[in-house]
């Protein structure tokens, strides 16, 4: 029996697309659904193009997440992955799926984490602080932004000439290379 992965994303969906493709021929796991808080997010189109059910929900549904929790339970997720999901994840869902919700953050936590630190904001802060490296952190989700137990980190060197866009491109390469493998490892260790 394949393990079920549910993905949450808010935007473009390159990480989501990469994860779906990675697990398409897997005997271990499969992506069963993609959920987004943005009905216009490109991630929904990318997912549907790969024959994955893709649904959106409103901010009101996120703030009163009982229906979202019921929907999730129907998919019986072994792992919920936040792949570019920008809202604080509901505590009720975290509690319903203990140690089954993970997030990828585009920096080396604990640096550059917390409320408002996502995407371009992170890369801009990294450049402004003249960091010599950045990277990714994959961590369990708890009730505080970016404070859950770290599962995996990978760093990449930066140059003084790197712009926030350059940092974003380097970090995205790491995300695409490592996130599917870490998801697979987490699912294997969970059994």
The catalytic residue among 4, 105, 120, 176 is 105
Question: Is residue 29 within 8 Å of 78, Cβ to Cβ?
Answer: yes
3-state DSSP assignment of residue 45: helix
Q: Rounded to whole angstroms, what are the CA distances from 164 to 16, 58, 138, 170?
A: 22, 30, 21, 10
Q: Is residue 105 among the annotated active site residues?
A: yes
Q: Rounded to whole angstroms, what are the CA distances from 119 to 26, 156, 168?
A: 30, 16, 8
Question: Is residue 136 within 8 Å of 154, Cβ to Cβ?
Answer: yes
Q: How far apart are CA 108 and CA 153, in angstroms?
A: 7
CA 149 to centroid of chain Cα atoms: 15
Measured in degrees and rounded to the nearest 5, phi and psi for residue 159 equal -110, 160
Which sequence positions are flagged as catalytic? 105
């Amino acid at each position: 029996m394949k393990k079920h992965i549910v993905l949450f994303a808010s935007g473009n969906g390159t990480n989501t697309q990469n994860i779906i493709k990675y697990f398409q021929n897997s005997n271990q796991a499969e992506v069963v659904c993609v959920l987004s808080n943005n009905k216009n997010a490109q991630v929904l189109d990318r997912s549907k193009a790969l024959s994955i059910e893709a649904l959106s929900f409103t901010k009101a549904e996120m703030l009163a997440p009982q229906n979202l929790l019921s929907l999730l339970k129907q998919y019986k997720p072994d792992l919920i992955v936040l792949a570019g999901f920008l809202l604080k994840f509901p505590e009720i869902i975290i509690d319903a799926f203990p140690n089954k919700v993970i997030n990828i953050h585009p920096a080396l936590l604990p640096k550059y984490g917390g409320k408002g630190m996502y995407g371009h904001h992170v890369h801009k802060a990294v450049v402004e602080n003249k960091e010599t490296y950045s990277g990714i952190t994959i961590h369990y989700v708890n009730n505080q932004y970016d404070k859950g137990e770290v599962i995996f980190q990978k760093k990449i060197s930066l140059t003084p000439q790197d712009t926030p866009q350059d940092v974003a491109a380097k970090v995205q390469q790491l995300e695409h290379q490592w996130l599917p493998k870490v998801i697979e490892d987490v699912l294997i260790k969970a059994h």
